[in-house]
Structure 1
Amino acid sequence: MDDDADTRATCLNFQFFKLALRDARTIDDRINTRINGLRERSSVSSPSDFRGKCQSLKQELEASEQSRQTFINTCIAYVEEEVQKKREQGQPVLVAETELRLMRSELNVEQILRDKSMRTFSDKCR
């Protein structure tokens, strides 16, 4: 199975979707620990080393956020397509519509996580 088929299968199973997001959000969950580790290791070397590693961590964080955003939007598109197919076939769409609303709400969760991570980053990675 190719990546697109895997992604589609993950998106169309809401439990798998949530698990994939949880796994993808570990970088945000561990931002404090990672920055503290950078600080401890860099205190031995130099402050400029710390700033460089912080910048690298920020780039990693931004890439992860972009990847999750793309994943969520891709899943929303797949589920919208499924809802449309079900409507055309006269099948019930309530469950799929509910999952679609929940997926859209994950975009708000992403914004909250992004704000929190950037605030933490700004406070600790100076």
Structure 2
Amino acid sequence: MRNIDDRIVHSLNTTVPTVSFSGKVDASETCKQLYETMMEAHLTRDKAIKSCIGQTSEVMGQLREERAKDSDNLVLLRQLRKEQTKLKLMQSELNVEEVVNDRSLKVFSERCRIHYTPPKVK
């Protein structure tokens, strides 16, 4: 799901013309399309991660309720720890996602700032 971010530099190099070739390609439209694609990918990944966090939190809530009823069940305790670990990994993935998004936006703005100014995010 991070293909666009992994290849942002390549995409910019192949689609945004240098000054000498600027007359042959509409750089503002190209940058706009790339920006929209990038924002859509960021939103999709953010929704997917947050959905997984929500589902895992739900499962943890159920496991905690079961643990309150039967606190001696070792299988239940192991399962709860496993879900807690999974939740921590997903939450850290949100931090990774933020770093990846910031890097991509920085590279994008460096190359496209002359041709396209993205709308302000509310």
The bucket for the TM-score relative to the shorter chain is 0.7 to 0.9
Tell me what 2:3 maps to.
26
- Indicate which of 28, 33, 37 corresponds to 1:60: 37
Q: Which has the higher contact order (CA 8 A, sep 6+)?
A: 2
Q: State whether residues 17 and 27 of structure 2, in contact with CA within 8 Å, keep that contact through their aligned partners in structure 1.
A: no
Tell me what 2:62 maps to.
85
Query: Over alpha carbons, which structure has the higher Rg?
Result: 2
TM-score (norm 1): 0.74
TM-score (norm 2): 0.76
User: What's the CA shift for 1:69?
Assistant: 0.6
Tell me what 1:98 maps to.
85
Provide the rounded CA distance (Å) in 1 between the counterparts of 2:53 and 2:24.
Answer: 45
**Structure 1 unaligned spans of 5+:** 1-23
Give the paired residue count: 102
User: What is the one-letter code of the residue matched to 2:88?
Assistant: R
Per-residue CA deviation, residues 67-118 of structure 1 (Å, 9 max, x unaligned), is 1111111100000011111222221211110110110111111111111001
Provide the rounded CA distance (Å) in 2 between the counterparts of 1:75 and 1:95.
Answer: 14
Query: Percent of pairs identical after alignment?
Result: 32
**Structure 2 unaligned spans of 5+:** 68-75, 115-122
Mapping 1:33-48, distance limit 5 Å:
33-40=10-17, 43=21, 45-46=23-24
Which aligned segments of 4 or more residues in structure 1 are displaced greater than 3 angstroms?
44-47
Tell me what 1:122 maps to.
109
